[in-house]
Each structure stands twice: as C-alpha cells, then as structure tokens.
C-alpha cells in the first residue's frame, strides 16, 4: 500500500468532476450529513485561504487514466460542488445536481459564504477571489493498493486512520469489497430498495415486520440520515442472519472479517425457510414493542438485549404459533424487569439467573461466551416468570 501526500487545486477538482474522474459515492460512503452552516464554515476558510483537513483518495487505474474514489472528505468536496454549481462563467460544474439524489441536499446549491466580512455566492464573487479560489490547494493523501497489500492493511486503512468526519466502519468496507455477495444482497433486499439517480444513491426503506423490529434500537432510532439508518439495520441484520445460518455466536467484528475472507457461510443467499423464520420472529418483536409501551425499553433499544432476544427466538421453540399469546406477557414482563434492575421478593426463584444475565450484559457484550450466557439465562427467566 502506498501513500502520497499531495494537493489538488480546486480548478483541477472541478475538471475531475466534469470528466468523471472522481467518485464521491463509492459503496462505503455515508450519504449527505453536513448541514448548510457547516458547508458555509468550510467555504469561509477556503475563501480566506486558511487550511482545511486533508481528504483521502483511493487512486486506481482505469483504462488510459487514473480515477479516484473518495475515502474520507466527501462532505468537504460536496460543499465545494454546491458552492460553485453551474453559476460561473468559466468555472462551473454543469451536472452538479447529479451528485445529490434528494431535493433537500440540492436546495443548498448556490449557498453564500463569507469573504472579507461580506456574504457572497459564487456568481457574485470578485474576480480576484475567484482566481485565488481556483488556485486553492486541497490537502490530499492519495492511497494506492498494490498486489502485496493484505487484508489487515485494508482494514487498518479504512477503519483506523484518523479521520476528521464520518468514520468509515468495517461494514462500509464489507459493502465495498464484497458487493457481489449473495447474502449481502439478499439481506439488503429484505429491508430496502436501492435507487440510483445521477451520481448519487438512495436507499428507500421498506415498511415491514423486519424494519419495524429494528427501528427502536438506539443508534437506528437516533439516526436522522436515511441511508445511514438503512446501513445500520443492514449491518445488525447480517449479525442475526449469520446466527440463523450457523446457530453459533460470533463477535460482530468476526462476522465481518468472515465476509472479507470469503468463507463459505456467505456464499449463498438467505433461504426461504430462513427468511420465514426471521419474519415470524420480527413480527413477534413488533408486538412485544407495542406491549412494552416504551420505545426506549432496554429489550428493544439496547442491542445487547435485542440480540439476545432475537437469537433466542430464532434458535428455540420457546415461542410458537400455539403459545404466542401466552408467551408475549412474559417477554413484556422481562422488558419491564430490565427497566427496574432489581427482583421483587416474589421472584426470588429467578434472582440468581437474573444476576448472571445482568453481569453478562455489562462488559464484552459481543463476546460469544457472554452472548451464550445471556441467551441461556433469558430462556430460564422467561420460563419461570
């Protein structure tokens, strides 16, 4: 793997955009997350000739030229595109809207930024300011992968570099490197529809039992940006589906490493019977969520408890069609028990199991042994409530 510290002038960046030499929406990128205020702040610094954080580009051969994928710095480059758009006479990006799928992102096109104490849009900037803008050099780190680059280096590159903006996660890398994986595609198809418009991609989330079961989880519930919300459901669903396929607990990071190492578990798509099992389980969880009457109940809000719940339901016959109505109140009571964090005298029979469950929920929560302890104790508690 090779690194080169360099710079790209805005004049050249505009040419890259117009010549399709730069890709701002590779599989591992994360939507449009900056607001207008953040974009204005960046352009104020650029117009003031102040330094900005470096961007990371993945450089690769494409026919007779090189092309570039943005690894880190998408929001900065998008801000420059929105500011310049197509309003200039001899510096413009005629197809700037292609980089933005939805109207909310496009609405920032042509925004104004401060220059010498006044607000200017690009089309009324003084000539001398435009000249300086064209010559402004964006700090850039070009990265090239060679034949000797190993898996650990790739993971380190994407996950562990000190990024300034939205961090690239291990799952982002899986999406980028394993985009033809049958299980990856079939899992995505359970929860969303991929729509492409111009150079941008939008995930339209499906409204079904699966997405309804996952929507209360903390980082999904609190996520505002649509594509990232789908990504987070997708990643957690992969964790669950590997359990359905293998009946074994793994650390989430190990699941994704298995992907990257192209293990046989992920060579096939989700089977119809596996999908049916998942849908039945998620439907029950949806009913449980309604019964808990608290969208932040730990059982559906905290992934540690949620994973234990859903893995227990898919592996056991604890809940089936004939006893579902009788079992639902027991799981609701367990959810309320997690909120209270202590056992009443009348429930001393489950006190020891509950303590073991709580202890296994406090640290190393993704460890397979801890997951197994929680599953075993949750089952015992539910049966004895």
- For the stretch 120-123, contacts whose Cβ atoms lie closer than 8 Å and that sit 24 or more positions apart, written own/partner, are 120/47, 121/83, 121/87, 122/83, 122/84, 122/85, 122/87, 122/88, 123/87, 123/88
Predicted confidence at residue 264, as pLDDT, reads 46
**Beta strands at 137-144 and 55-62: parallel, antiparallel or unpaired:** parallel
Q: What is the structure's pLDDT at 201? A: 81
CA–CA distance, 30 with 172 (Å, rounded to integer): 8
* pLDDT at res. 147: 65
Cα–Cα dist 99/105, whole Å? 9
pLDDT of residue 255: 66
Q: What's the chain look like in SS3?
A: CEEEEEEEEHHHHHHHHHCCCEECCCCCCCCCCCCHHHHHHHHHHHHCCCCCCCEEEEEEEECCEEEEEEEECHHHHHHHHHHHCCCCCCCCCCCHHHHCCCHHHHCCCCCCEEECCEEECHHHCCHHHHHHHHHCEEEEEEEECCCCCCHHHHHHHHHHCCCCCCCCCHHHHHHHHCCCCHHHHHHHHHHEEEEEECCEEEEEECCCHHHHHHCCCHHHHCCCCHHHHHHHHHHHHHHHHHHHHHCCCCCHHHHHHHHHCCCHHHCCCCCHHHHHHHHHHHHHHHHHHHHHCCCCCHHHHCHHHHHHHHHHHHHCCCCCCCCHHHHHHHHHHHHHHHHHCCCCHHHHHHHHHHHHHHHCCCCCCCCHHHHHHHHHHHHHHHHHC
Q: What is the dihedral of CA 201, 241, 221, 206, to 10 degrees?
A: 50
Size of the chain, expressed as the number of residues it contains? 385
Return the closest-CA partner of residue 110 out of 134, 79, 89, 136.
Answer: 79
Partners of 196 in the β-ladder = 201
Neighbours of 333 (CB within 10 A): 15
Rounded to two decimals, what is the model's pTM?
A: 0.67
Q: Are 74 and 165 in contact (CB under 8 A)?
A: yes
Q: Which strand ranges, in their side-by-side order, compose the sheet holding 22-23?
A: 2-9, 137-144, 55-62, 65-72, 22-23
Burial 270-303 (b: 16+ CB within 10 A, else e): beeebbebbebbbbbbbbbbebbeeeebbbbbbb
Number of Cβ atoms within 10 Å of the Cβ of 183: 20
- pLDDT in tens for each of the 385 residues of the chain? 777 889 999 999 999 999 999 988 765 545 556 889 999 999 999 999 999 988 888 888 888 988 888 877 888 999 999 999 988 788 999 999 888 877 777 888 999 999 999 999 999 999 999 999 999 999 998 888 766 665 556 656 655 554 444 556 677 777 766 667 888 889 999 999 988 877 778 899 999 999 999 999 999 999 988 888 999 999 999 889 888 888 888 776 676 666 555 544 456 789 999 999 999 999 999 999 999 988 899 999 999 999 999 999 998 889 988 899 999 999 999 999 998 866 666 577 888 999 999 999 998 888 889 999 999 999 999 999 8
Summarised one tens digit per residue, pLDDT across range 214-246 is: 999 999 999 988 888 999 999 999 889 888 888
255 contacts 239 by C-beta, under 8 angstroms = yes
Query: For residue range 284-318, what is the model confidence (pLDDT) as tens digits?
Result: 999 999 999 888 999 999 999 999 999 999 988 89
118-120 vs 113-115, strand pairing mode? antiparallel
Measured in whole angstroms, the distance separating CA 206 from the mean position of its chain's CA atoms is 17
């Amino acid at each position: 793997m090779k690194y080169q510290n360099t710079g790209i002038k805005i004049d050249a960046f505009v040419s890259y955009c117009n010549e399709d030499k730069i890709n701002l929406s590779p599989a591992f990128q994360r939507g449009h997350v900056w607001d207008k205020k953040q974009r204005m702040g960046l352009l104020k610094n650029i117009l003031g000739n102040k330094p900005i954080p470096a961007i990371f580009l993945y450089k690769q051969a494409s026919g007779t030229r090189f092309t570039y994928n943005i690894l880190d710095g998408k929001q900065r480059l998008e801000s420059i595109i929105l500011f310049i758009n197509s309003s200039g006479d001899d510096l413009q990006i005629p197809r700037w809207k292609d980089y933005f799928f939805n109207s909310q992102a496009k609405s920032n096109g042509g925004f104004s930024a401060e220059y010498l104490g006044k607000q200017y849009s690009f089309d009324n900037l003084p000539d001398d300011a435009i000249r300086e803008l064209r010559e402004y050099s964006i700090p850039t780190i070009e990265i090239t992968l060679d034949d000797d680059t190993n898996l650990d280096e790739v993971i380190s590159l994407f996950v562990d570099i000190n990024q300034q903006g939205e961090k690239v996660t291990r799952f982002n890398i899986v999406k980028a490197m394993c985009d033809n994986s049958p299980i990856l595609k079939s899992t995505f198809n359970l929860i969303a529809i991929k729509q492409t418009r111009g150079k941008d991609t939008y995930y339209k989330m499906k409204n079904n039992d699966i997405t309804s079961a996952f929507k209360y989880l903390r980082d999904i519930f609190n996520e505002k940006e649509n594509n990232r919300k789908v990504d987070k459901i997708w990643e957690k669903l992969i964790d669950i589906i590997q359990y359905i396929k293998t009946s074994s607990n793994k650390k989430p990071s190990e699941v994704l490493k298995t992907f990257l190492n192209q293990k046989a578990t992920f060579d096939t798509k989700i089977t119809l019977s596996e999908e049916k099992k998942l849908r039945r389980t998620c439907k029950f969880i949806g009913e449980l969520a309604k019964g808990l009457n608290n969208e932040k109940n730990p059982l559906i809000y905290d992934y540690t408890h949620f994973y234990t719940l859903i893995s227990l339901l898919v592996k056991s016959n604890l809940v089936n069609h004939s006893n579902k109505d009788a079992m639902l109140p027991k799981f609701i009571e367990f959810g309320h028990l997690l909120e209270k964090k202590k056992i009443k005298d009348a429930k001393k029979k489950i006190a020891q199991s509950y303590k073991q469950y709580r202890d296994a929920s406090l640290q190393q929560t993704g460890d397979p042994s801890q997951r197994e302890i929680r599953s075993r104790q949750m089952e015992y508690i539910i049966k004895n409530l």
